[in-house]
């Protein structure tokens, strides 16, 4: 057996199957030669992953514009990589990792030969998610201070949207709806009106109907929201803010998008948002019963709303009503002046 091969095998034997650190040993072609239990658990693999390319497990960032291949073959980098990884799965939330890949060297006669690599992964999902969500929740709080008409509206919109997405995930009818989609929409639906922070107070809180020029400014909350949420790493945030007033028949704003041109996330939030706005009491309107609101949603099938989503709404409408009752707001006269909340 060649010395390089022996060095490689020795390295693998020294790595413990039971190590808590997820790790994989790669050949010099970056294919997995060995992986421990923690690695397979992290990537939700029941069975072996031997022979698979490491690039199939995570999209790596931190490559200085080079490919992983060039970085790991370069003596100047010490044949190593340090950066972040992102992995998506259909049945599990997105995974964020800190990744280190180091060479396994064989050094006969002081001449280095890379015989393989060891890749270590540290699960950073929780800290990543927590800091991200903390920042965007503060943003949401800031926008609520300006548009304080909405009470628990945004909480309910999150819940209805999650309910619809969850049901689509269970049915498996749309491949776009994976675990991550459900998880994201249940946080991001609440952000739909964050762009109202850019609408002047006298328009936002005007008691009577808006003039057409005022209405035009009001509609910019969709684009403002998209601009503000552009920093969010998942495009769903921008999609919801930008497109939650689009209509299935193309008569909505800001772009008059039609049917499936409107992102799925926004089509879901539209139904959730409108249902809740119909049910809620405002200074300019009374609250509607569940039946009245649900009938209006059914009536909007194919004009305002995606017909397939309306069918899903129909199958879940009792649960919509339960969520509304569970998170019911006591209406306060003093706290409710915006004619356009919802």
Contact residues: Fe ion, CB under 5 A: 193, 273, 342
Minimum distance between the CB of residue 308 and Fe ion, rounded to whole angstroms?
A: 22
Instruction: Tell me how far apart the alpha carbons of residues 147 and 150 are, in angstroms, rounded to a whole number.
Output: 7
What token pair was written down for 38? 């923690």
**Which residue number, 151 or 342, has a Cβ lying nearer to Fe ion?**
342
**Which residue number, 193 or 234, has a Cβ lying nearer to Fe ion?**
193
Minimum distance between the CB of residue 237 and Fe ion, rounded to whole angstroms?
A: 14
**Which residue number, 19 or 137, has a Cβ lying nearer to Fe ion?**
137
Minimum distance between the CB of residue 196 and Fe ion, rounded to whole angstroms?
A: 7
Minimum distance between the CB of residue 155 and Fe ion, rounded to whole angstroms?
A: 11
Count of other CB atoms within 10 angstroms of residue 320? 24
Minimum distance between the CB of residue 221 and Fe ion, rounded to whole angstroms?
A: 6
**Which residue number, 4 or 214, has a Cβ lying nearer to Fe ion?**
214
Instruction: Tell me how far apart the alpha carbons of residues 221 and 215 are, in angstroms, rounded to a whole number.
Output: 11
**Which residue number, 94 or 192, has a Cβ lying nearer to Fe ion?**
192
Minimum distance between the CB of residue 142 and Fe ion, rounded to whole angstroms?
A: 16
**Which residue number, 42 or 191, has a Cβ lying nearer to Fe ion?**
191
Residue 141 DSSP SS3: helix
> What are 315-321's contacts with CB under 8 Å, separation 24+?
315/167, 316/163, 316/164, 316/167, 317/290, 319/163, 320/160, 320/163, 320/275, 320/290, 320/294, 321/290, 321/294
Q: Which residues contact 36 (CB under 8 A, 6 or more apart)?
A: 15, 16, 17, 18, 19, 21, 22, 23, 24
């Amino acid at each position: 057996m060649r010395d390089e091969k022996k060095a490689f095998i020795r390295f693998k034997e020294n790595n413990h199957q039971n190590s808590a650190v997820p790790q994989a040993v790669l050949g010099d072609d970056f294919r997995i030669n060995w992986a421990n239990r923690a690695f397979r658990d992290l990537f939700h693999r029941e069975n072996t992953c031997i022979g698979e390319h490491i690039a199939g497990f995570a999209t790596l960032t931190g490559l200085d514009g080079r490919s992983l291949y060039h970085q790991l073959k370069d003596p100047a980098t010490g044949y190593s990589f340090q950066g972040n990884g992102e992995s998506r799965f259909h049945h599990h939330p997105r995974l964020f990792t800190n990744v280190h890949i180091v060479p396994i060297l064989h050094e006969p006669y002081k001449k280095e030969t890379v015989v393989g690599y060891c890749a270590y992964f540290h699960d950073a999902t929780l800290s990543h998610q927590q800091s991200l969500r903390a920042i965007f929740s503060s943003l949401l709080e800031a926008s609520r201070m300006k548009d304080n008409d909405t009470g628990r509206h945004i909480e309910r919109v999150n819940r209805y949207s999650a309910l619809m997405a969850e049901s689509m995930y269970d049915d498996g009818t749309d491949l776009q709806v994976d675990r991550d989609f459900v998880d994201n929409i249940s946080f991001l639906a609440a952000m739909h009106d964050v762009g109202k922070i850019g609408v002047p107070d006298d328009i936002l809180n005007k008691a009577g109907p808006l003039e057409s020029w005022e209405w035009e400014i009001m509609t910019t909350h969709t684009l403002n929201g998209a601009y503000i949420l552009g920093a969010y790493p998942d495009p769903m945030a921008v999609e919801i803010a930008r497109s939650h007033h689009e209509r299935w028949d193309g008569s909505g704003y800001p772009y008059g998008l039609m049917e499936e041109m409107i992102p799925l996330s926004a089509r879901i939030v539209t139904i959730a948002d409108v249902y809740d706005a119909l049910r809620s009491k405002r200074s300019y309107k009374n609250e509607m019963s569940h039946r009245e609101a649900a009938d209006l949603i059914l009536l909007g099938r194919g004009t305002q709303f995606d017909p397939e989503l309306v069918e899903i709404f129909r199958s879940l409408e009792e649960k919509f009503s339960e969520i509304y009752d569970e998170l019911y707001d006591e209406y306060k006269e003093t706290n409710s002046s915006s004619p356009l909340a919802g």
